[in-house]
Structure 1
């Protein structure tokens, strides 16, 4: 079983909202999260209410990948950056808008163009977000759900996917076949290279976003 790391995801808990400002029902979105440059691909497929914000999606991504929300992050949607501190220039000088003020359904067109999540100050992990389906009418009941996924996501403290791939390359096949491996790095626990525990992910998502469970 893959270990989902503990983090404080209680901040910013969001009550489910079912309609947009115009009173129309907001759709759900089926999203594919994939860790860029991972081989074999590390991915999660989610059903996410369109009423949630990018700030909500940040917490959903952290839970889905077993990370602890310990570093900087931002989104690139279309051609616009969104981050927790609005209008503050990043290291590359790009200005980011407030992720907590941007609902997913308001960004639908941009999500179909470019949709990326950058973690660790934009220098480490890059997650490609693919909008696979617009689900109308919505079926989530206001709660994001992890549908499927594959492979354990490496601990964020490793730094980036390239270092992780190098560490795996140093292991022999017998170690990988045993599934649970230790990478001999400070603060990095044993974890499953291949397993993705969808049940644990959904338990944590349900705690953060109560919604209406069916």
Structure 2
């Protein structure tokens, strides 16, 4: 049986403009590796807790006190199939919720390297900005620098690159995953 590749469309929920990535990941990846692929695709550093919710079950980092399953023990192809939708949250303080759609499950192409990013729309918010409200306020400050800075968001403007949507660059980062 050939290796199966999951085509995932991952959209950051609630952003305007839209921030979305289409990534290709092996179905044999455990959820911790899928998490890392999502983090890299969105420019997240991986310093914060995260969690998947798939079919009303939660998966996250190993924690004997948590009520979720260990993501290291669960392969993507064991919990998702083509057409499925599930949630991924990164950074429980900023609460970056992502909707993940399994667009298709296809055989791996022998001439292709995985994981890969095949489409990128919208620059992601800077890490630790403070969530959706702060991101929106930062975008308002960029559009109108005369507005008052409500919460020190001008410091984040230097970290935000509205042109940071290069799928090829994201693919390079994904292929360096360890």
Among candidates 166, 185, 188, match of residue 155 of structure 2: 185
Equivalent residue of 1:192, what SS? coil
Change (3 A) 1:76 1:150: same
Gaps of 5+ in 1: 1-23, 90-94, 176-182, 210-214
Larger CA deviation: 197-206 vs 51-60:
197-206
The 8 Å contact of residues 53 and 100 in structure 1, kept in 2 or not, is answered as yes
CA deviations on 1:12-61 (whole Å, 9 max, x unpaired) are xxxxxxxxxxxx44421110011100112100001111011110011101
Aligned to 1:103: 75
The 8 Å contact of residues 83 and 104 in structure 2, kept in 1 or not, is answered as no
Aligned to 1:138: 108
The 8 Å contact of residues 26 and 105 in structure 1, kept in 2 or not, is answered as no
Gaps of 5+ in 2: 147-152
Report the RMSD for the aligned CA atoms in angstroms: 2.6
Task: State the TM-score, normalized to the length of structure 2.
Answer: 0.84
CA separation in 1, counterparts of 2:49 and 2:10? Answer: 18
Change (3 A) 1:208 1:113: closer
Task: State the TM-score, normalized to the length of structure 1.
Answer: 0.71
